[in-house]
Amino acid sequence: MLIESGFGRPRFTVNGTASYLSYMPELRSRGRDLWLDNRQNAFQVKLPRVPLVNYMADPDLYANALGKAELVAQQTGLPMLNHPTAVLSSRRDRSAELLAKIPGVRTPRTVRLSAPTRSELIAAILAAGLGFPLLLRPAGGHGGKGLVRLDSREQLDAAHIPLGIDEAIYASEFIDFADADGLYRKLRLIFVGERVFWRHLIIGERWLLHSASRIAGAQAEESAARDRFQAETLPRMAPVLNAIRATVGLDHFGIDVSLRPDGELLVFEANACMNVLDNSTIPPPNMWEAQIAAVRAALAELHDRSECWLHPGKAPAPALAEAI
């Protein structure tokens, strides 16, 4: 159902994973929140004929609610940014399969698994044929939380398996992406409409990279790579990035990648769940301020141009749009 016909905060909510509106109150204050619960039940809602912004970015956490949002978009014909159909397709296993079809892109083979018992889950992991090392993570988990690497059958038998939403996990093949100097590099790019922005490059000594794992002195290399991005790197990557945008089908999302020496793009994930506007790891002033400001400005512009969204809706008819 919808809470108070969709408006008004419910007693309990699960925080959204598309975090940018939390940093842009000027955008959120212009609209009204429409709360969709995650149960499989009927609902009815009447909306003014205004553009809609889907703020549910995780296809595991919000599967049923995204299905309801699909109905709202389909039956009302309203413009919708980050259409729920595309969000559902960004589930890790589905996204990996879709993106792997793009020439010049490689993705770790990924399966989503659940089983009633631990022994059956281990059997399903082995039956997937991913080999070792492999990665396990809870469905609905982000930021490396619950992520484990297992290098052998013995480690799998002894491991704590990190169950997530619907008691499901993602099992992925581990692809060693260390560069020739033994360091690991993970690049985050942000798509806003037809534009692509450099967000950061994390360089570390271990494969599990996050902001705290940057090695000392890495900022000089990151800064130089950032400065080359618009003039050199982006034009070279443009055909592949355009294909990724078309495949993902979201107006705003991010990708975490490793750019391989042969030019291949190893894509770890592509979705709208990524933290983009937070700049609190290293107090400003820092090298990411300009990048974040550019993304923020592009997001504000995108919100004002629903005619440019990938799902601009149908021609307006009545003053109210209704979905059941």
What is the pLDDT at residue 169?
Answer: 98
CATH of domain 109-173: 3.30.1490.20
Read off the pLDDT of each residue in 85-106 and give the average, rounded to a whole number: 98
pLDDT at 1 over 70: no
CATH of domain 92-105+178-303: 3.30.470.20
154-158's contacts with Cβ under 8 Å and 24+ in sequence apart are 156/122, 156/125, 156/126, 156/132, 157/122
Domains 92-105+178-303 and 109-173 share a fold: no
Confidence of residue 9 (pLDDT cuts 50, 70, 90): low
Question: If you write DSSP's letter for every residue of 82-108 in order, what string do you get?
Answer: S-HHHHHHTSHHHHHHHHTTSTTEE--
pLDDT tens track for 36-90: 887 887 777 888 889 999 999 999 999 999 999 999 999 899 999 999 999 999 9
266: helix, strand or coil: strand
H or E segment at 94?
Answer: helix 92-99
First to last CA, the chain: 10
- Is beta strand 184-192 parallel, antiparallel or unpaired with respect to 252-259? antiparallel
User: Which range, 48-52, 253-257, 311-315, has the best average confidence (pLDDT)?
Assistant: 253-257
Mean pLDDT check: name the lowest of 81-90, 240-249, 314-323: 314-323
pLDDT at 317 over 90: no
What is the pLDDT at residue 3?
Answer: 37
What is the pLDDT at residue 220?
Answer: 95
pLDDT tens track for 104-163: 999 999 999 999 999 999 999 999 999 999 999 999 999 888 999 999 999 999 999 999
Read off the pLDDT of each residue in 188-202 and give the average, rounded to a whole number: 97
DSSP state letter for 283: P
Cα angle 210, 19, 189 (rounded to 5 degrees) comes to: 50
**Domain boundaries in the chain?**
3-82+311-323, 92-105+178-303, 109-173
Beta-bridge partner residues of 138 = 169
Tokens of 145: 């939380």
Confidence of residue 322 (pLDDT cuts 50, 70, 90): low
Beta-bridge partner residues of 136 = 148, 171
